[in-house]
Amino acid sequence: MEPKTRLGGFASMDRHKQREIARKGGMAAHRKGTAHEFTIEEARFAGRRGGQQVAANRTHMIEIGRLGGRRSAERRKNRASAVMSEPVRVDISPQTPQVEAGVSEDSVPRQPDGHCDQPRQLGAMAD
């Protein structure tokens, strides 16, 4: 005798329809006041247990650590190559230097990243 399978029911519906029905049920439970809401302690405990389950799988932890290391090294390499490829502009014209907006002529020389080589002295600005 062959087992009978149903063609109807919640499990046979497409995922979108299942989610819609579940969403309506959750909203009704909240309106009625019977929905479960996690306390801070319950959420912390659940998160801790989930983290322990993931950490227990050593091969998974090794793989995600390896991927993180590769991405970190790649990011470091990309940053270094970006700094090396930036053009350096040197003005060697005999003209009077032009003052950029917001920068005084007596300002301290700055590195390409915007940091000063020397601390700036208060009151040393030109009037």
- The model carries a pTM of 0.34
Contacts of 125 by beta carbon, 8 Å cutoff, 6+ apart? 104, 106
- Contact present, 106 and 126 (Cβ < 8 Å): yes
In a domain, 114, yes or no: no
In a domain, 91, yes or no: no
Question: How would you write the pLDDT of the chain (127 residues) with one tens digit per residue?
Answer: 556 666 778 888 899 999 999 999 999 999 998 888 889 999 999 999 999 999 999 999 999 999 999 999 999 998 888 777 766 676 676 665 555 555 554 555 656 665 555 555 555 554 4
Number of structural domains found in the chain: 1
In a domain, 98, yes or no: no
Per the structure, the complete domain to which residue 55 belongs is given by 11-83
CA distances to 70, 72, 73, 82, 86 from 76, in Å:
10, 6, 5, 10, 16
